[in-house]
């Protein structure tokens, strides 16, 4: 793992490698997650202390499944973060074997062949995506600063184009 990898990516990557899982990127926040069945997923709940979370829909559990799941989770030391009819969140220590096994069972994530290579590709992908987002945020901040500077100079901004980017001189 490269030194520039973010802590959340490192936590998910280590957990995924330990259980031969693949992880993906939640595109809404550029966050790593392990996707399971019926919309369930494992994500980084806290970087310090290092805790993972499992999100799932209690409605998808058969019969008395919700009561059995909560009892098992509390028995092995997991914490209930949110308990609603349509969504539930539990936090757990990814290094605790009992908690990790239960979280994987709740999530429905299954091992994948060649998961190490896929995870390495995801690390590269999420790093590049976060760098692109940082550049976009910086560009947006720069454009706001330019707009404020023009406003302070009492310039007419009725035709100011916020999406304007100068042409690349190498083109």
87-117 residue pLDDT tens: 899 999 999 999 999 999 999 998 888 777 7
3-state secondary structure of 157: coil
Q: What is the pLDDT of residue 58?
A: 81
Extents of the domains making up the chain: 7-125
Task: Specify the CATH number for 7-125; select among 1.10.1760, 3.90.1150, 3.40.50, 3.30.700.
Answer: 3.90.1150
Where the chain has pLDDT below 70, the residues are 1-5, 157, 159-171
pLDDT at position 73: 93
Does the reported pTM lie above 0.85?
no
Residue with tokens 């001189």: 169
Each residue of 148-159: pLDDT tens digit? 887 788 877 676
Find out whether the peptide bond into 49 is cis, omega within 30 degrees of 0: yes
Per-residue model confidence (pLDDT) at position 74:
93
């Amino acid at each position: 793992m490269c030194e520039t990898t973010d802590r959340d990516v490192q936590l998910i990557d280590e957990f995924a490698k330990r259980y031969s899982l693949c992880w993906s990127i939640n595109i809404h926040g550029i966050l790593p997650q392990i996707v399971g069945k019926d919309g369930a997923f494992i994500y980084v709940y806290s970087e310090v202390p290092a805790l993972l979370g499992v999100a799932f829909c209690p409605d998808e559990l058969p019969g008395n499944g919700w009561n059995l799941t909560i009892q098992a989770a509390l028995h092995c030391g997991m914490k209930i973060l949110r308990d609603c009819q349509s969504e539930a969140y539990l936090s757990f220590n990814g290094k605790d074997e009992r908690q990790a096994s239960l979280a994987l069972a709740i999530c429905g994530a299954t091992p994948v062949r060649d998961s190490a290579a896929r995870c390495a590709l995801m690390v590269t992908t999420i790093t590049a995506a976060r760098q692109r987002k940082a550049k976009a945020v910086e560009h947006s901040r720069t454009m706001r600063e330019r707009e404020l500077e023009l406003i302070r100079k009492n310039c007419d901004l009725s035709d100011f184009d916020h999406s304007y980017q100068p042409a690349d001189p190498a083109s």
